[in-house]
């Protein structure tokens, strides 16, 4: 019991520390990663994110292809498009990402994984390296997923800096097709929270379609700050 | 700055992961056995005790892989051909939890029956 109490205490300390040191300039709302990998899994993914504030409307889309390269490691490559300041939508960056499953599901009190990402802007020598811990724990028919990430940025147009991001998802596994959740995001001077829905539809064998939809409202500013994120993932 | 961030976040985080991993190693987890032959689970129903974590060891005697899948158990695991895999389930309340083989969903089907402790036995 003491161990479990210490564990949750440490988790809270880390989360609080993450929030206090949040900084600067990007979009924090994104997918909440689960720490699981399945061998032989291949996927194509499309993510859509629209963020509306009083000043601007940011639009970002990602297309990705991923492949599990072992029982515990998967690699995914992304092409990222964004709408720029002149309202033109164009290629923004490329990204390579890897998830490593550290523990088998259910083996320990919680399940753990690691996320590593490297992103480079299109035609600009600007880079972003992200690494972090992925955590998931079951509570009956609900699952708590936490991503605690460190982001390092550098490049010709960027001041080198280290940022922290924190993502939380608390999901109720209602039926495979519909699983409601609450999501919380902090980082880069942003704290946001809102409802999310996700689900999975199976076709045959490993072919399945996963979907996620979330509406996140910024909680820490006085003005409007709404993010809508949507993702479709086809596994085969 | 990098060093201070490592001190503040990464070292406690790594400690957290390591202590989570190491602590439960001493606990004995009851083992239950399943076999896959000709894309069928044997036994197709397995009884385990309630409120206790157990380890399902599945031996796939087929030459092709199979994926153990159960939304009710919240588990997915690929079992390669002619090999074994293990899946940790529970602690669970009493009830029936269905599972199937994702590659052969029409034949490879089964259920984990969770009963109050004392009523379960290793198959």
pLDDT in tens, B1-49: 555 555 565 566 666 666 555 555 546 899 999 999 999 999 999 999 9
Q: In sequence order, what are the beta bridge partners of A176? A: none
Q: Which residue has the tokens 């300039």?
A: A25
pLDDT of res. B2: 53
Interface of A with B (CB under 8 A): 3, 6-7, 10-11, 13-14, 17-18, 21, 36, 38-40, 71, 102-110, 112, 133, 138, 140, 143, 148, 150, 152, 162, 164, 173, 175-176, 202, 204-206
Q: Tell me the pLDDT of chain A (236 aa) as tens digits.
A: 444 555 555 555 555 455 444 433 467 899 999 999 999 889 999 999 999 988 888 899 999 999 999 999 999 999 999 887 677 788 889 999 999 999 999 999 999 999 999 999 998 899 999 999 999 999 999 999 999 999 999 999 888 989 999 999 999 999 999 999 999 999 888 899 999 999 999 988 788 999 999 999 999 878 889 999 999 999 99
Nearest to A7 among B20, B65, B86 (CB): B20
Q: What is the pLDDT of residue A154?
A: 94
Structural domains counted in chain A: 1
Measured distance CA(A54)–CA(A192) in Å, rounded = 16
In Å, how far are A39, A103, A195, B103 from A181, measured between CA atoms? Answer: 27, 24, 6, 29
What's the gap in Å between the CA of B48 and the closest CA on chain A? 16
Q: Rounded CA gap, A149 and B106, in Å?
A: 42
Give the pLDDT score at A54.
87
**By C-alpha distance, which of A48, A16, A24 is closest to A187?**
A24
Are B71 and A71 within 8 A, CB to CB?
A: no
Q: Which residues of B touch A116 (CB under 8 A)?
A: none
Q: Greater confidence, A22 or B89?
A: B89
What pLDDT score does B22 carry?
A: 55
**Contact residues, chain B, for A203 at CB < 8 Å:** none
The token duo for B16 is: 């957290």
CA A96 to CA A119: how far, in whole Å? 6
pLDDT for the residue numbered B8: 60
Q: Could you tell me the residue range of the domain that residue A38 belongs to?
A: 2-235
Q: ipTM for the complex?
A: 0.79
Residue A92: Cβ within 10 Å count: 20
**Distances in Å between the alpha carbon of B38 and those of B64, B94, B102?**
10, 30, 14
Size of interface A-B (CB pairs under 8 A): 88
Largest distance between two CA atoms of chain B? 59
Percentage of residues in chain B having pLDDT higher than 90: 68
CA distance B57 to chain A (A): 13
| Burial of residue A12, with CB atoms counted within 10 A of its CB: 0-12 exposed, 13-18 middle, 19 or more buried | exposed
Q: Helix, strand, or coil here: A40?
A: coil
Residue from the list A106, A143, A175 with its beta carbon closest to the beta carbon of B75: A106
Q: Do A106 and B65 touch (CB under 8 A)?
A: no
Average pLDDT value for chain B: 85
Domain of residue A73, CATH code? 2.40.160.40
What is the distance between the alpha carbons of residues A164 and A126, in angstroms, rounded to a whole number? 18
Token representation of residue A182:
């609450």
Helix (H) or strand (E) holding A17: helix A2-20
* β-bridge partners, B117: none
Domain B29-115 in this protein, CATH class: mainly beta
Contact B20 A112 (CB under 8 A): yes
Which residues in chain A are closer than 8 Å to B86, comparing Cβ atoms?
104
């Amino acid at each position: 019991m003491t161990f479990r109490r210490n564990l949750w205490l440490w988790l809270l300390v880390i989360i609080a520390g993450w929030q206090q040191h949040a900084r600067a300039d990007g979009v924090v709302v994104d997918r909440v990663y689960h720490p699981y990998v399945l061998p032989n899994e291949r996927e194509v993914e499309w993510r859509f994110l629209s963020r509306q504030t009083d000043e601007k409307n940011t639009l970002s889309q990602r297309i990705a292809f991923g492949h599990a390269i072992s029982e515990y490691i998967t690699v995914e490559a992304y092409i990222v498009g964004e709408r720029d300041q002149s309202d033109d939508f164009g290629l923004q960056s490329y990204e390579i990402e890897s998830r490593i499953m550290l523990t088998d599901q259910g083996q320990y009190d919680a399940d753990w994984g690691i996320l590593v990402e490297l992103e480079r802007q299109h035609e600009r020598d600007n880079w972003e390296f992200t690494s972090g811990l992925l955590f998931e724990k079951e509570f009956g028919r609900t699952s708590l997923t936490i991503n605690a990430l460190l982001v390092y940025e550098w490049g010709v147009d960027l001041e080198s800096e280290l940022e922290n991001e924190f993502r939380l998802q608390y999901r109720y596994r209602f039926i495979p097709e519909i699983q409601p959740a609450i999501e919380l995001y902090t980082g880069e001077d942003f704290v946001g929270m809102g409802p999310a829905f996700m689900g999975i539809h199976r076709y045959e064998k490993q072919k399945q379609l996963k979907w996620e939809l979330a509406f996140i409202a910024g909680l820490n500013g006085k003005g409007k700050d709404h993010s809508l994120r949507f993702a479709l993932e086809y596994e085969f | 700055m990098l060093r201070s961030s490592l001190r503040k976040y990464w070292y406690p985080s790594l400690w957290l992961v390591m202590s989570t991993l190491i602590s439960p190693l001493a606990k004995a987890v009851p083992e239950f056995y399943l076999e896959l032959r000709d894309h069928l689970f044997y036994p197709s129903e397995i009884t385990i005790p309630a409120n206790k974590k157990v380890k399902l060891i599945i031996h796939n005697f087929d030459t092709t892989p199979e994926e153990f899948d159960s939304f009710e158990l919240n588990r997915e695991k690929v079992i390669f051909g002619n090999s074994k895999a293990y899946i940790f389930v529970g602690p669970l309340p009493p009830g029936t939890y269905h599972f199937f083989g994702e590659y052969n969903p029409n034949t490879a089907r089964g259920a984990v029956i969770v009963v109050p402790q004392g009523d379960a036995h290793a198959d």
